[in-house]
Each structure stands twice: as C-alpha cells, then as structure tokens.
Chains A and B, each alone.
Chain A
Amino acid sequence: KQEVTQIPAALSVPEGENLVLNCSFTDSAIYNLQWFRQDPGKGLTSLLLIQSSQREQTSGRLNASLDKSSGRSTLYIAASQPGDSATYLCAVPNSGNTPLVFGKGTRLSVIA
C-alpha cells in the first residue's frame, strides 16, 4: 500500500528566501507524481506533474524533481513571496494504476 510522507509539516521563511519541500513515497512503481497548492478553504491547484520517465519539471519559480529509485521528490521554490503562503501537497498513484494517494502537506508561511 502506497504511503506518502511530507516533511516538514510546517515551514516559516522570510520573503526572498529559496526553500525546498520534501515528499517521500514507499512504492516506487508510480506513473507520475503531482504537486498541488491549497489555500485555506479552497480546492487544490495543480502546480507540476512529473512523469515517471522524467527527472524534473519547472514552472516559473517552481522546480520539482523526482527520484523514483529512492522514492523521493522535492519542490524547490525560488525567491519566495508572501503570496506563496499555502499548503503544498504531493500525490502519487497507489501501487500500479490506481488513484492518487496524498501526503498530509507542508504548510508554508512566507513572512514579508
């Protein structure tokens, strides 16, 4: 059974700092990994999708990497801004071709 862990659970950084969020998963037989952002009381916004054959994906100030063999992914946020404050979640399909399993998320606060 796939399990996803995100560390740290919460993170507070000053504006402008670069930061890394971590995600680990137990079953490396995944099709892809997806990073989401969730603002309080809102739905999830897809940030990046990395296919199993890829090592990283970039979108603006965001860069996500994937290391299937070690069961890890990182989300790098460059030059953080207060608007980046949100909860960030990673998700992978359960073993094989099944629906997504989510981590509990990392709650990020960027202080101006």
Chain B
Amino acid sequence: KAGVTQTPRYLIKTRGQQVTLSCSPISGHRSVSWYQQTPGQGLQFLFEYFSETQRNKGNFPGRFSGRQFSNSRSEMNVSTLELGDSALYLCASSLEENTGELFFGEGSRLTVL
C-alpha cells in the first residue's frame, strides 16, 4: 500500500514568487492535513481538508491557501513568498476527520532566497 506522496521534495524560490505543493494521500484516506515545520516554531498546523471541504485552518496569513480534489489529492499554495516561509511542509492523511491516526509524507523542503 503506497504511503503519502508529496511533490516536489525540494524547491528553491525567490521572494515575491508563489509556490504550489502537492500531496497524494494513502488510498482510501479522505482527510488531508498540512503542517509547516521550522527549527524555531516546530510543527504548526496550516489547514485540514475532508471530502473537498476545508474543516480547520491554522493561524497563518491569507497568502497560504489550499484545496482538495475529488480524488482526495490536495494542493497548497503560498503566494508572495517571504524569507520566513522557508520550511519543511508536511502533508498527512488519515481515514477519519481530526481524530484518526495521521500518516505523514516525506515533506517538501522550500527554500526562499
């Protein structure tokens, strides 16, 4: 059974650009969550999608957005990139909304220059 797949694994952008990250959950999982991980702040929740609907949103500016498609795949977008957006972006999927066991992908490492 394939795990959570995130693409791209690494990317470098410059300030002001935008980026789109993709996440394919484990087959059958309908909940997808996104987290940002930085050395200073640790893991911070971005948003969660279940059956194409955003169920929860963390405390991030509107430059961070996401969506989920009918096949449960999810994308997140960051516009007008800032240096502070450099981080490991992790996607997790679960069978159930919120209370299920989370399974993480390998992450997308974003560097903003």
Q: At the interface, is chain B mostly helix, strand, loop or mixed? A: strand
B84 CB–A CB distance under 8 Å: no
- How far, in whole Å, are A31 and B99 apart by their CA atoms in the complex? 6
Pair A93/B98 contact, Cβ less than 8 Å: yes
User: Interface size class for chain A?
Assistant: 20 to 34
Q: A34-B102, A42-B107 are in contact. Are A99 and B43 (CB under 8 A)?
A: no
Residues of B within 8 A of A49 (CB): 101
B28 CB–A CB distance under 8 Å: no
CB B12 to nearest CB in A, in angstroms, measures 15
User: Interface size class for chain B?
Assistant: 20 to 34
Pair B33/A44 contact, Cβ less than 8 Å: no
- How far, in whole Å, are A97 and B56 apart by their CA atoms in the complex? 10
* A-contact bits for B98-112, CB 8 A (1 contact / 0 none): 110111111101000
B64 CB–A CB distance under 8 Å: no
B62 CB–A CB distance under 8 Å: no
Pair A46/B101 contact, Cβ less than 8 Å: yes
Pair B45/A36 contact, Cβ less than 8 Å: no
B48 CB–A CB distance under 8 Å: yes
- How far, in whole Å, are A31 and B90 apart by their CA atoms in the complex? 22
Residues of B within 8 A of A100 (CB): 33, 45, 102
